[in-house]
Amino acid sequence: MATVVAVIASTHHPFYYRASTATGEDRPPFADEWVRKITAFRETLTAARPDVLVMVGSDHFHQLWLDNMPQFLVGKAPFYDANWYNEEREFGLPKMLLKGNEDLSAHILRAGLDEGFDLAFSNELRIDHSITCPIITLRPEADLPIVPIYTNIFAPPLPQPKRFVQLGQTIRQVIESWPSHLRVAVIGTGHLSLELGGPRQFGPHGPDPEFDQKAVEWIATGDLERCLHEVTLDSLHSPGNATHGFMDFMLMMGVAGAGRKADYVDSLDLFHTMEAYFTWYPNGVDA
């Protein structure tokens, strides 16, 4: 059976690519520290020696739209083109082509359905920065096959927070039941407090540093009980109107397991939103 060698949760700040590649006067003052943090974070994936990446993210109205919006969708394609015109326009992100692993996609779909998740699927999925940002930060070689999983954190009505946790638990179980010798890393990106298109956007910090502090503590300690007690679809409006992306962090806590402390925790207080980086090694780093 396949082995989950690393579980990784992070933010997906789309400005990293431009900030880290900028030179001279264009290079922002926080870029060097940001690169140092990312380089250390990247090593936590490299050390796990993964063969395939299951990538949890959320489409930002690039391919999925209000005419037909899935709550949870699994990509099943041999390749995924990536990044969209408006991401190139706003963030300078490059076009990318990532290889898929259709066998693992098919297994997640079949076993996920059997476990009670009515997963949507796509054989022609073009992915966006929620998945390419962690490739850029954690695996810039972009050499490993991926299985993208999209969640709806964006277009109400949304699934309840507990459903994200349950999906994470199911993803872990399903991957470990995959008849394969491959080493799988599960990488998911979400948000801490974040406001987009509202009065609190683009402040010197995320819109709610107090929420960020609590959220980092929940994730770092695997405190799903406290997290589920305090987080509701309604409460997530308070830290910022785009904070529902935090439910993808909750999904990753489900993958890692309740009560499971992260083996690696780091953060960086940036403008707009706080960056946060977590890695769990379910079987130890050398497993």
Partner 1 sequence: MSKYLIDKFLYMIDRDPELVERYREDPRGTVTWWEAERANTVLNCHGGEASTWQRFTDEEREALAAHDHVALFSLGAHPFLTLTLFIAMFERDHGPLEYQKAFGARLAHFSMPYPDIAT
In the list 24, 25, 29, 68, the residue contacting partner 1 (rule: CB under 8 A) is 68
User: Phi first, then psi: what are they for 281, rounded to 5°?
Assistant: -115, 100
- Minimum Å distance from CB 207 to partner 1? 10
x/- mask, partner 1, residues 28-67, rule CB under 8 A, reads: --------------------------------xx---xxx
- Minimum Å distance from CB 171 to partner 1? 26
Interface of this chain with partner 1, residues 84 to 123, rule: CB under 8 A: 84-86, 89-90
Between 203 and 257, CB nearer to partner 1: 203
* Relative orientation angle of helices 209-221 and 246-256, to the nearest 10 degrees: 10
Between 196 and 265, CB nearer to partner 1: 196
Between 23 and 68, CB nearer to partner 1: 68
x/- mask, partner 1, residues 201-220, rule CB under 8 A, reads: xx------------------
Between 4 and 194, CB nearer to partner 1: 194
Between 42 and 244, CB nearer to partner 1: 244
x/- mask, partner 1, residues 127-166, rule CB under 8 A, reads: ---------------------------xxxx---------
User: Phi first, then psi: what are they for 121, rounded to 5°?
Assistant: -140, 160
In the list 78, 94, 140, 198, the residue contacting partner 1 (rule: CB under 8 A) is 198
Between 195 and 212, CB nearer to partner 1: 195
- Minimum Å distance from CB 126 to partner 1? 12
Stretches 33-41, 96-104, 191-199, 225-233: which one binds partner 1 (CB under 8 A)? 191-199
Pick from 68, 67, 72, 230: which is nearest to 158 by CA?
A: 72
- Minimum Å distance from CB 78 to partner 1? 22
Q: Which string of DSSP letters, residue by residue, matches the chain?
A: --EEEEEEEEE--TTHHHHHH--GGGS-TTHHHHHHHHHHHHHHHHTT--SEEEEEE---SSS--TTS--SEEEE--SEEEE--HHHHHHH-PPPEEEEB-HHHHHHHHHHHHHTT---EEESSPPB-HHHHHHHHHH-TT--S-EEEEEE-SSSSS---HHHHHHHHHHHHHHHHTS----EEEEEEEE-SS--SSSTTTT-SS-S-HHHHHHHHHHHHHT-HHHHHHH--TTGGGTT-TTGGGHHHHHHHHHHH-TT---SEEEEEE-SSSEEEEEEE-TT-TT-
Residues forming the site for partner 1 (CB under 8 A): 60-61, 65-68, 84-86, 89-90, 154-157, 195-202, 237-238, 241-242, 271
